[in-house]
Amino acid sequence: MLGLAYTRAVRQLIEELEHREMAHLQALGERMAEGVQSGHVIHLYDNGHMLNHEMFNRAGGLALLARLDVGQPTVANSAVRPKAAGLKANPSAVAGDDLDMALARYVVDRSAAMAGDDLIIGSVSGRSPLVVELALGARERGIRTVALTALKYARTLPARHVSGKLLYQVTDDVIDIGTEAGDAALTVEGLPEKLAPTSGIMAAVAMWALEAAIAEALLKRGITPTVFRSVNYPDGPERLDAAKRRYETLGY
């Protein structure tokens, strides 16, 4: 039963996360709560597979988490040249990893993040030049950075960034989600590749545990954070609007 094998694999990863990261997440939550009390913001950029939908405007979620979204720039240019001209493509065009690094710097410059804020950067492998450059640029501005990554996976990979480093090597803090190298959990006879990834689930578990720690720390400080209620209740839309207005007024 492959379904059962998968749930057991995830359960084991969650138990390992508890032993490895829970005290760390509690301490991190307390530090972030201190920042929120001082008017700072917790930002999340996710290069993974779940958090951009899971962590925002969710029933039971804190309103205080700010999504940092990075869109790849596009250029529309329908120029046509006769093949006989023998001309080559624009030699000054920036492509690939160089473009990602330039984009990361632009994002840091144009975002609302400021010194003293926290930026959580989610990337399973942490290998993308964009996430590494994003962390480096943020740290230069005094923004505290946290990598949400899989160390077992990352340590098997060569770096792509010009520094020769991966995400976990350039951030102030690291949350290890524990996913195995390659991400997938099940070795199945008859399949050439392993089946069923775990990084999305583990990233979500780690982030919800961190949010719980932040909420607990804020309550200890006498601060009641805004928590979203399900929009599916009869008064759901009105409650959601009220929660958003409260957050915009208080910042938590």
Q: What's the total number of domains in the chain? A: 1
The chain-wide mean pLDDT, for the chain, equals 93
Answer whether residue 194 shows pLDDT above 80.
Answer: yes
pLDDT at 169: 98
C-beta separation of 157 from 179 below 8 A: no
pLDDT at 137: 97
Q: Are 167 and 100 within 8 A, CB to CB?
A: no
Among the residue ranges 34-38, 67-71, 87-91, 191-195, the one predicted with the least confidence is 87-91
Residue numbers of the domain that contains 88:
2-250
> pTM of the full predicted structure?
0.91
Q: What is the pLDDT of residue 99?
A: 86
Beta bridge partners of 42: 65, 118
- In the chain the first and final C-alpha atoms are separated, in Å, by 45
Confidence band, pLDDT 50/70/90 cuts, at residue 83: confident
Between CA 106 and CA 98 the distance in angstroms is 12
How far apart (Å, rounded) are the C-alpha atoms in residues 123 and 126?
Answer: 5
127/114 Cα distance (integer angstroms) = 25
CATH number at residue 156: 3.40.50.10490
- The tens digit of pLDDT for each residue in 114-166 reads 999 999 999 999 999 999 999 999 999 999 999 999 999 999 999 999 999 99
